[in-house]
């Protein structure tokens, strides 16, 4: 199972800046991962960076408690630009940390790679699309952005925001609305 940009700890980051957010969103994100683990029973969960948002905080303890029942699953973390904790803190929970991982000829990284000759899957961008209705109402939803040599995954975390993409002719976009995925454009 591959997940990108959960950003645990982001609500705490906002609270430090005086913006009151509850832990509910991040707990819901972990519950959604638990549901996916139950349904798909993966042997490995690969986080493509930004599993955490910044410094050590209460969400780290929440994660450390959450991961304990899953000792039979291999958890790997490709470090992202927001994964700022010392590596030993991640490994105490059983996470294995990498700069990038290659599996069956596919490279997995946090950020898009410009220097990689081959297919790679990444996150970091938080791609999204804007859907506009007949009465000019609109909604922004996350999406997968598929290019000739790369796939950019949507952010998994519910507090991440979106970067609205304008796909080129040779790019394919798959929008995500609730539990439905559809080709866009």
User: What are the pLDDT digits (tens) for 92-141?
Assistant: 999 999 999 999 999 999 999 988 899 999 999 999 999 999 999 999 99
- Torsion, CA 1, CA 130, CA 152, CA 59, rounded to 10: -50
Question: Cα 41–7–73 angle (5° rounding)?
Answer: 20
* Domain 2-184 coded CATH 3.90.1070: no
pLDDT of residue 38: 98
User: How far is C-alpha 93 from the chain's CA centre?
Assistant: 19
| Residue 57: predicted pLDDT | 65
Integer angstrom CA distances of residue 44 from 37, 50, 89, 108, 128:
10, 18, 20, 14, 26
What digits encode the pLDDT tens for the residues 29-85?
999 999 999 999 999 999 999 998 776 666 788 899 999 999 999 999 999 998 888
Query: Would you place residue 26 in the very low, low, confident or very high pLDDT band (cuts 50, 70, 90)?
Result: confident
């Amino acid at each position: 199972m591959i997940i990108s940009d959960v950003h645990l700890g982001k609500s705490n980051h906002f609270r430090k800046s005086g913006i009151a957010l509850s832990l509910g969103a991040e707990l819901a994100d972990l519950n959604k991962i638990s549901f996916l683990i139950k349904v798909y029973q993966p042997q490995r969960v690969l986080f493509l960076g930004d599993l955490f948002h910044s410094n050590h905080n209460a969400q780290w303890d929440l994660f450390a408690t959450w991961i304990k029942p899953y000792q039979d699953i291999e958890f790997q973390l490709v470090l992202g630009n927001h994964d700022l904790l010392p590596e030993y803190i991640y490994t105490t929970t059983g996470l294995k940390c990498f700069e990038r991982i290659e599996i069956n000829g596919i490279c997995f990284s946090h950020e898009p790679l410009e220097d990689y000759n081959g297919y790679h899957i990444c996150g970091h961008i938080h791609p999204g699309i804007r859907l506009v209705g007949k009465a000019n109402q609109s909604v922004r939803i996350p999406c997968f952005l598929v290019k000739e040599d790369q796939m950019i995954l949507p952010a998994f975390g519910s507090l991440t925001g979106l970067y609205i993409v304008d796909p080129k002719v040779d790019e394919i976009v798959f929008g995500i609305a609730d539990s439905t995925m559809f080709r866009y454009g």
